[in-house]
Amino acid sequence: MNTTVASEKIGFIGLGLMGHGIAKNIVDKGYSLTFLGRKNRKPAEDLLGRGAKEASTSRDVAAASTIVFICVTGSREVEAIIRGPGGLKEGLKKGSVVVDCSTSDPVSTVALAAELKALGIDFVDAPLSRTPKEAWEGTLDAMVGAPDALFARVKPVIETWAGRIVHIGDTGDGHRMKLLNNFISLGYAAIYSEALALAEKVGISPPRFDSVIRNGRMDCGFYQTFMRWTLEGDRDAHKFTIANAFKDLTYLESMAGAAGIANPLGNATKNSFAGAHATGPAEQFVPMLATHIAEVNGIDLMPMKDGKKQTI
């Protein structure tokens, strides 16, 4: 048996769109896994069927684990999981590790790392890229912030769910890079949305627009998943919510402010998402930004599927 699999006991908190697939791969590849259940029982029942164990509090997850992974919305949730009543700090043992796979504020990450270090506990940031499909397949991208020795310890576990792992630097650098990565992708989304609205306004339909961009120099994987909503009405092509996108862009704004750098394009991108976030609904995904940008300009870009207009 792999010595890492034998020696490490894994905890997991956050069985959402990404977390369920990640946890599934950890337990399927031989690790002992204790997870925190949630109201949606489907992920929990699936993991129990694969041999994982369920805990009722974050403290109990910590007590059963040597490495605890967190995959939630952002820093506010991570802080509550660690510091709150029944939280990880109450159950973590000296020598254990917390790995935050959320897209978090680097200022919070560095503060949590220092707080846990004083207790003999290490903190790693390992945010993700790609979609729930890759999470289930175990082929996510991970950008990891950790000292070299700590990275070497957690890497075998991350390899169970990531196909591409980049050790970006020290603690906090993973979350810094994730915000930069999301700035680029969400900037694309804002540009595509505005371009599609303008194209429709001047008489160029989304399929005609796509016929030029697709397979040209401006094509990319993000463009292809983004366009599946507008072209095909596929609401699940890119399951990342506008609410999370807006949150990430506020973190980027905070990082830029702390660094003392002007970030006008970041702010413009954030404002594109702010309007869609304010009008809802909460479950709308990033590709639906195109529909929103069109609507505020009096343009109908709501896609068709099976001969029917879709709704957000």
* Residue of 178, 239, 247, 270 marked catalytic: 178
Residue 277 dihedral angles phi and psi, to the nearest 5°: -65, -40
Q: Cα–Cα distance between 203 and 205 in angstroms, integer?
A: 6
Which token pair is 70?
A: 């967190």
Per the annotation, the verdict on 178 as an active-site residue is yes
Q: Which amino acid is at 104?
A: S
* DSSP classification of residue 302: P
Residue 200 dihedral angles phi and psi, to the nearest 5°: -60, -40
Which residue's structure tokens are 């995904």?
285
Residue 168 and residue 19 in contact, taking contact as beta carbons nearer than 8 Å:
no
| DSSP calls for 251-270 | HHHHHHHHHT---HHHHHHH
Which token pair is 171?
A: 């603690």
Q: Which residues are catalytic?
A: 178
